[in-house]
Structure 1
């Protein structure tokens, strides 16, 4: 899980293998018609867009662009809707998807535009374009991630609390599930972000992980792992409520459910591993990460950490024992 601390979200310019026909064609087009990354598009609305104040503000933008830094020339103007809107193209530093472009976009939004168009009364503006769209998608995902994680964790806690009438079991279950997800994140960071196994898996690393994949993996893996986790815990609790000692209940519960859990895990690992053969890098990441997480979860977590944690907790894991016991 440690490499996941350096996980970076992004989006590749082309989500296809390097030797694919479409990539070869695009490379040929770029060689014949080289071009810079798409500029940021500033959409300006309001009154008197052809007036001297707006013209002076756009001129100030051109002056800032000529001096270099976050933005550069040429700054272009396009009148839209018969003068109801103005589209100002502002080239950004960087290649359009790297940190330099993100920093330039933030500077444009927070500093340059407020100092130019922002000082014109009756005018409003918004920044769009390829760089802004990707940046906003990732920012929106980051801002909503704590809510998603919290919702899933709280829902799992409430359901496990209702099912097993124990506070300890839900807490242990959530922590161990997060370990499985963290291990999957670390593995995909090593393989896909750092560029390991590019040859065998037939992909080209771009220095990050496609921004929507980690959240999808988390929700998917949490649901899958919780499914057979509840199955295992149910078997253990049944034996414990019938009077078995905690360690005997753990051994019996694991033994009686191991075949079903292992078979289910192997099937899921096999199915998800097929994704690694598909051409799109996002499907490769999703397949490798999910297959690895299920394998780790079904072996190290469910086979070692769950019984170890329950054995250390003993009767404290389950609360009060029901009255019916084995005679």
Structure 2
């Protein structure tokens, strides 16, 4: 081939390559989940994937990469091709709590991701054993102060969001309570029901059945306002606990080098899904609140909560790698 023709090759191919990079969605999308199948994060992701796939006109396949509180899945997405074909269904603790309690984490929230949007929020609810002689948060705090260390709370494990919900309550009220970690929320709830522990914080969507069936009693939700699934249960702030707001969330992120054009298309698709009445109905039925935020707002939220949980974990003495 002559030099004359070689000079024109870049002009012929570069526009085509640029166009190909911005044709999302041009193939199936893999939605990575950092927790096991059947849990609350996985269930919410599969609900979202169904509506998201219908909206973009491509199959959306949920892939579970459980382990290290979502970090394994996050690493997988950070290394993926930045073409929008691999996205992460991010649960808030993975980038706001886990970095403070696990060592050897290779990902960085400021370097490795393109933030695309916040989808929904969820709240924890404080539930107690039916035989505990308190009927409000105020009475619980009074009991804890009169009997230091007598109350015990279960959690899904060291550094879990429900442990930190309790640690924050202790710090805000100056009380002492015993932490009993379990391997997951389900066994922790079983022991609250059976009276082996006094109480626990659980995700509203899974706790509501235990509450409505009378197996445990609910004292307060951790969000600033009441939760739609538990309209008769006050919020912590309503119950008199100042500066207490623990609201979890799920969002969508992609690899850091995702193009502006592709990110814009994904953000628009997230908005369309969030406006779908049937999607909203399905999410709200199990206690989630639709809370669409831009990718930029999601990043700001992560930065703020990262600082909060760093303070809480340090005061609670939860050591890195514990």
Q: Aligning the two structures, in what range does the TM-score lie when normalised by the shorter sequence?
A: under 0.3
Higher relative contact order (CA 8 A, sep 6+): 2
| TM-score, length-scaled by structure 1 | 0.20
Higher helix share goes to which structure? 1
